[in-house]
Every structure is written in structure tokens, then in C-alpha cells.
Amino acid sequence: MLLVASAMVPIAALKQESAPRGIIENAARPVGDEGRPRDRDLAVYDAVIARLQDGERYYAVVLEEHRKAAFPVRPGFAVRLPTLAWIAAVLGNTGMTAAAFVLFAAVVWAWWRRLGGELGLRRHLLFGTALILFGAVLGLNRYFFVLHELWSGMLLALALALYRPGERWGATLGLVALALAIREHVLPFVLLAAALALWWRRWREALAWGGLAALFVALLALHHQQVAQGVLPGDPPSYPWLVLRGLSGWLSNIVLSSNLRFLPHWLAGPLVILMVLGWSVWRSRLGTFATLLFLGYGLAFMIAGRPDNYYWGAVIAPSMFLGLAFVVPALRGLRQAARI
């Protein structure tokens, strides 16, 4: 029933009549390096990065650029964290391109090692790695290099490949901390890791994840304070994010922020469901963690996020593709269970 519904519910990025002011106008959009019109939200952070390279300060610049584009500046969540802009200002276009290639190669290599190093997964080595490559290759698209979710999603894909709950988690903690500093939407990963570490009685790991969450909340409060200091009385608030889009919200976020967007609707929607089903049959702590993570984000996307926030799905989309490698065993198990 879920597969049938996923093939039928609408997958949409934006309805013009409900769009926040300043997003849908095409005439004033700058043109990117690829020759196509630059999305307004991307153009805003292009301008922010350029001004940071000229020595200006982030919060003064970002508030001014938001107002130029008729974007809201309150609440503070409407303004991105400064981490990615600072990194991009230092590295420049060439450095960001090199960083993207290094991160992409690290993701593919890490999953190749992970799949090849576990006995039960070796038969999925080639197909699984190809799926990760297909999911992660979007990280090489220069058009989206200022998109915060793109970098956070690639970092989480690498973090999951290295994550061994209760055993080796230090590298994962560092990668997730960087992803969290780029986009606060990574926080559910941290909270789930802390909760499962407590459940598995891994006290040291639970303390590390809990400490990261506490530190981030403190820094996020500081970010909001910095934004609030520059808010003017006439600045309009952001449109609500709690819009209850249901299954359409979950599927739209994943499909439109990944290479599934090239597939027909009737196929792309069910593939998202099958990805999670595949992850659920990986009998390991990582399989349990990833399944709960993807289901949790799916629930969040059904509840929160406007249609134009579809790019939030890029936080988890690259990692989800691996689940398709386990779909056949999952369906075989369901068939056997039905016979019993």
C-alpha cells in the first residue's frame, strides 16, 4: 500500500501561489557559470561569500543580502550558519572544487572498504558502491557548491561509512560535528547517536554525542543572538515551516534533492520507500541506526518544510541509495514470512 501511495502522491518543489516573496521571480536572477539562471537563494550566498573575500563581516553582510532578495531574517533559522561561507571565502572556487572531489572520493572509497570488509556484505560490493556513487555524484555539481545541505549530506555519507557504534566512532563524531556546523538539520543524527549509545550502554560514546549536541545548542543560540542584533522593526518574519505535507513532503525532499529527479514520478517515489526497506534488513547496529535515522527524517519532512524547502533532503539522500542493494533480500524475507 505504501509503494502504491508513493507512486501516486504529488512530488513538487514549489507552488507559485504559496511561494515566499522573492523566490519565484526569474527575470532578476543572475546567471551562473553554467549559463542557466541562478536560483535566488544560491545567488544570495554567492554575494555573501564574495563580500567576505573583500573583508566584510558575515552577519552584517548576510542580513543586507537577505533584505536585497526580499528574504526573511527572522527567526534566526532563516539565516544560515556562517561556517560554509567562511570556508568558501577562504578556499575560493578552485579550493571548493578540489574539496568536493576529495570528499566524493572519500565517500566512495570508504563505502567500498566497508562493504568489502564485512562478510555478509561482500556480495553487494559492486552494486552497493555503484549506488553510493550515483547518490554522491551530485556533490560534484559546482552549481550547488554554496548549498549547505549538499556538503552536510556528503559529510554524513562519509560519517556513516566509518561509523561502528560502540567501537570506532571518533572519526564519525568529527565529521558530523563539521556537518552540524554547516547546517543545523544534522542535529537529529547527533541526538539519535546519543540515544542509541545510551540504549546500548556505551556510556563514553553517549557522553561524546551528548556533549556535541550541548555545544552546538550553545553556539546556535549565539548565532541567533548575532542575527537578532541586526533585525530591523520592519523586517517580515519567515513563512511557517510546519505545513504538514505528509508523504508528498518526504518523497519530494528526497527525489528532488537527488538524482532520482531524472526518473519518472511513478518510479522515483517507490524507490525512496525501497531504500529504507533495504536498510532495515542490514542486521547490524549501523543498519538499525541508519533505518531509524532515515525514518526519522522522513517523519520530519512530512511534518515540516515548505515545498520550496525540498533541498533539505540532500542531508540524507546520498546515503539512502545504498539501501537499494538490499531490496532483493528484503523482499525475499517478506515472501518467506508471508508463507509462514
Instruction: State the Cα angle at 184 between 180 and 186, rounded to 5°.
Output: 60
Q: Whole domain around residue 232: which residue ranges?
A: 2-9+18-339
- In angstroms, the Cα distances linking 10 to 5, 67, 86, 108, 326 are 10, 32, 37, 32, 27
CB atoms within 10 A of CB 214: 12
Dihedral sign, CA of 206, 212, 214, 220?
negative
Environment class of 321 (CB within 10 Å of its CB; exposed 0-12, middle 13-18, buried 19+): buried
Ramachandran assignment for 75, one of left (phi > 0), alpha (psi -120 to 50 degrees), beta (any other): beta
Question: pLDDT tens digits, residue range 176-217?
Answer: 999 999 999 999 999 999 999 999 999 999 999 999 999 999
Residues 222-267 have pLDDT tens digits of 999 999 999 998 888 898 999 999 999 999 999 999 999 999 999 9
For helices 170-182 and 83-117, what crossing angle results, to 10°?
150
pLDDT of res. 166: 74
Q: Coil, helix or strand for 242?
A: strand
> Can you read off the three cell numbers belonging to residue 8?
501516486
Q: Which helix (H) or strand (E) covers residue 136, if one does?
A: helix 125-136
**CA-CA distance, 214 to 196, in Å (whole number)?**
17
Residue with cell 523586517: 235
**Closest by CA position to 212, among listed 244, 240, 176, 185:** 176
Q: Does residue 24 have a pLDDT over 70?
A: no
The reported pTM is 0.91
Helix (H, G, I), strand (E, B) or coil at 26: coil
What gap in Å lies between CA 317 and CA 136, rounded to an integer? 8
Mean pLDDT over all residues of the chain? Answer: 90
CA distance 26 to 18: 16
Roughly how many angstroms between the first and final C-alpha of the chain, as a whole number? 21
Q: Which residues contact 113 (CB under 8 A, 6 or more apart)?
A: 161
- Which carries the bigger pLDDT value, residue 135 or residue 167? 135
In this model, does residue 16 exceed pLDDT 70?
no
Q: Which amino acid is at 220?
A: L
Give the chain's domain count. Answer: 1
Which has more confidence, 337 or 135? 135
Determine what percent of the chain is predicted with pLDDT higher than 90.
Answer: 76
Assess whether pLDDT exceeds 50 at residue 27.
no
Residue 14 pLDDT class (50, 70, 90 cuts) = low
In terms of Cα–Cα distance, which of 139, 179, 114, 182 is closest to 318? 139
The predicted-structure confidence for 293-320, as pLDDT tens digits, reads as follows: 999 999 999 999 999 899 999 999 999 9
Q: Distance (Å, rounded) from C-alpha 73 to C-alpha 37?
A: 24
Cell 558502491, located at residue = 129
Query: What is the rounded CA–CA span in Å between residue 217 and residue 212?
Result: 9
